[in-house]
Amino acid sequence: MRGKRLTVLLWQRAEAPFQGAWALPGGLLNANERLGAAASRHLAAKVDIPEIAHLEQLETRSDPARDPRGRVLATAYLALVTPDAQPKLPGDTAWHPVDDLPETAFDHGSIIGSARERLRGKLSFTNIGFALAPETFTISQLRDTYAAALGHPVSATNLQRILTRRDVIEPTNDVSRPTSTGGRPATVYRFAARELVVTNPFAAFRPRAVG
């Protein structure tokens, strides 16, 4: 999350193919290397992110025409970082909103779409929101995070009720600082666990019905 938008880290290619287009960090797998280790290595080569909040294998792409240089299989990973992480980015690397992508290389735009759908699904039945939120937050802040990730408005009251009932979030002893407009300070919450937990395999957050 950057601001109130769900974003993806991309770097701009300096060479053909797709020179000038934006691509996901990645590269070749070494002969004696595991996929997860390769993903971490290539990400570290582009940007220093000290801690990945959540990492999981997303999918494998095998379209023979996905790379004009020849047949290349690609295994993609979904890596989430909290807004507390503020890595220093090189000049050819930037965060881009997932709903307003620049021209992308290869099939990376489609991969980003798959990652967004995986995230949206898991927000419904797991506590994966911990990987998008800061250590502590108000319900209104968490509402903005869920709305940006899900792509539709979210009721703060319903979100608090559902996540509290499932023991996903818990109140702290802190309250938010008063704003210039006044009003009652809001309770500050945190996630009960900061590792992936299935909370309700049959639940789903959906847009509110109209009419």
Q: What CATH number has the domain bearing residue 184?
A: 1.10.10.10
Host domain of residue 158: 126-191
Report yes or no on 203 lying in a domain.
Answer: no
- Please report the pLDDT score of residue 177 as a whole number: 72
Residue 64 shares a structural domain with residue 54: yes
Residue 11 shares a structural domain with residue 115: yes
Which of 85, 6, 83 minimizes the C-alpha distance to 48? 85
- Please report the pLDDT score of residue 51 as a whole number: 83
Q: Specify the 3-state DSSP secondary structure of 73.
A: coil
- Please report the pLDDT score of residue 210 as a whole number: 58
- Please report the pLDDT score of residue 50 as a whole number: 75
- Please report the pLDDT score of residue 206 as a whole number: 60
| Residue where one domain finishes, among candidates 85, 104, 124 | 124
Residue 86 shares a structural domain with residue 184: no
Total structural domains in the chain?
2
- Please report the pLDDT score of residue 150 as a whole number: 96
Chain-centroid distance of CA 186 in Å reads: 26
Report the C-alpha gap between 68 and 54 in whole angstroms: 32
Report the C-alpha gap between 34 and 37 in whole angstroms: 5
Residue 39 shares a structural domain with residue 142: no
- Overall pTM surpassing 0.85 (yes/no): yes
Residue 89 shares a structural domain with residue 101: yes
What burial letters (b/e) apply to 104-127, b meaning 16+ CB within 10 Å? bbbbbbebbeebbeebbebbbbbb
Report yes or no on 33 lying in a domain.
Answer: yes
Eight-state DSSP code of residue 151: T
- Please report the pLDDT score of residue 105 as a whole number: 98
Report yes or no on 16 lying in a domain.
Answer: yes
Report yes or no on 197 lying in a domain.
Answer: no
Residue 155 shares a structural domain with residue 183: yes
According to DSSP, the residues that pair with 74 across neighbouring strands are 61
Residue 112 shares a structural domain with residue 148: no
Report yes or no on 199 lying in a domain.
Answer: no
pLDDT along the chain (211 residues), means of 10: 95 97 95 93 86 94 96 96 90 96 98 97 96 96 97 96 96 80 82 94 62 53
Residue 14 shares a structural domain with residue 93: yes
Residue 106 shares a structural domain with residue 178: no
Residue 149 shares a structural domain with residue 65: no
Residue 143 shares a structural domain with residue 82: no
Report the C-alpha gap between 62 and 194 in whole angstroms: 33
Residue 104 shares a structural domain with residue 163: no
